[in-house]
Amino acid sequence: MRKLPPLSLYLHIPWCVQKCPYCDFNSHALKGEVPHDDYVAHLLADLDADIPLTAGRRIETIFIGGGTPSLLSAHAMQTLLDGVRARLPVSADAEITMEANPGTVEADRFSGYQRAGVNRISIGVQSFSAEKLERLGRIHGPQEAKRAAQLATGLGLRSFNLDLMHGLPDQTLEQALDDLRQAIALNPPHLSWYQLTIEPNTLFASRTPVLPDDDALWDIFEQGDQLLTAAGYQQYETSAYAKPGYQCQHNINYWRFGDYLGVGCGAHGKLTQPDGRILRTVKTKHPRGYMQGRYLDKQYQVVNDELPFEFFMNRFRLLEAAPREEFAIYTGLEESTIRPQLDQAINSGYLLETDTHWQITEKGKLFLNSLLELFLSE
């Protein structure tokens, strides 16, 4: 029997107060009240259907994403996490993260989430500029963002993250760095700092704003990276920085090609079976269909030809060296099956290889797509 990778749980809450023009996540503007109790009941029924795919493993991390999970009442969150713990073994020191928007933050609700078991909060700040927040369709202001971060600090959580974007419409280098300085001043243990990209089927795709050019984006990244490093943050993933010991364990499990249950509207799962098959699950996207009990949209097996690309597409998002033995453990394939591609990557200067590890080079980071294309099936 194959050694199975660690197992995480992702729970999706699909509603937002309003849809942001850059967002391509499965989120739906709220019409009326959140159906708190009904939706939680459906989440737990969806989880019940997936339990046979877990092979008896315990949950190591939980991530509650959206949408805006902080629209869910503290009582509903308690029912949800109690229901998870009643159905599956959850690690005693599991990292349990919930996304929250500053505009939906209330002190009593935050402490209620904490009582339910949430020990890490990810706050969607995006910018500290009122003008930029308005362009991004955000419903909070700079002061609410700061208040939310201060609140998270005061709760004594295990950790909290601030989400920040750069490369915003008409954003100058100084404006981008000013956002970073204000975030650093709030002393979050973790900072996600990522570039705005225009995604298909969003409002920004149909009415594209003027974004900084490639040279400006490089200056923002280079100087921002220096600011973060000087403040004691270490980059460990393409767009994530953390103080030592505060990396997001849930996301690390994704990037190490670990397994995860995806529960809720539009959630995706990846589950390795004891016989070596790797299954992917996709749940019904729209809340209407989902809440009629039609949870599973599709389930399929990842074919062997696609596994090398899937493994490295995840693994090379992390800056840490990748243990060579994990390729065989997590894909069930021998390293010899990808030897020609590895040699090509090494000869191209994208990858360094030791007896035990692979390490992506600076050139490999710059030409990541070219590196990954080597592992695409014919």
Element (H, E) at 60: strand 59-66
What is the per-residue pLDDT across 206-218, written as a single tens digit (0 to 9) for each? 677 778 888 989 9
Return phi, psi of residue 197, to 5°.
Answer: -120, 145
What is the per-residue pLDDT across 359-369, written as a single tens digit (0 to 9) for each? 999 999 889 99
What is the per-residue pLDDT across 82-119, written as a single tens digit (0 to 9) for each? 999 999 999 999 999 999 988 766 666 888 999 999 99
What pLDDT is recorded for position 29? 72
- Any idea of the CA torsion for 304, 47, 74, 30, to the nearest 10 degrees? 70
Q: Which residues contact 134 (CB under 8 A, 6 or more apart)?
A: none
Helix axes 74-87, 36-50, angle to 10 degrees: 20
CA nearest to 291, candidates 28, 81, 58, 87:
28
Positions of the chain with pLDDT lower than 70, given as ranges: 1, 18-27, 104-108, 198, 202, 204-206, 378
The dihedral built from the CA positions of residue 222, 223, 228 and 230, taken in this order, carries a sign that is: positive
In the chain, % of residues over pLDDT 70: 93
What is the per-residue pLDDT across 160-191, written as a single tens digit (0 to 9) for each? 999 999 999 899 999 999 999 999 999 999 99
- The tokens of 39 are what? 């939706």
Helix extents (H) in 51-155: 74-87, 107-116, 130-135, 142-155
Element (H, E) at 353: strand 351-353
Q: What is the mean pLDDT of the chain?
A: 91
Return phi, psi of residue 247, to 5°.
Answer: -60, 150
- The tokens of 294 are what? 């039609």
Q: Which DSSP symbol is given to 132?
A: H
What pLDDT is recorded for position 104? 65
What pLDDT is recorded for position 207? 73
What pLDDT is recorded for position 298? 97
What pLDDT is recorded for position 133? 82
Structural domains of the chain, ranges and CATH numbers in brackets: 7-253 (3.80.30.20), 322-378 (no CATH)
What is the per-residue pLDDT across 322-340, written as a single tens digit (0 to 9) for each? 999 999 999 999 999 999 9
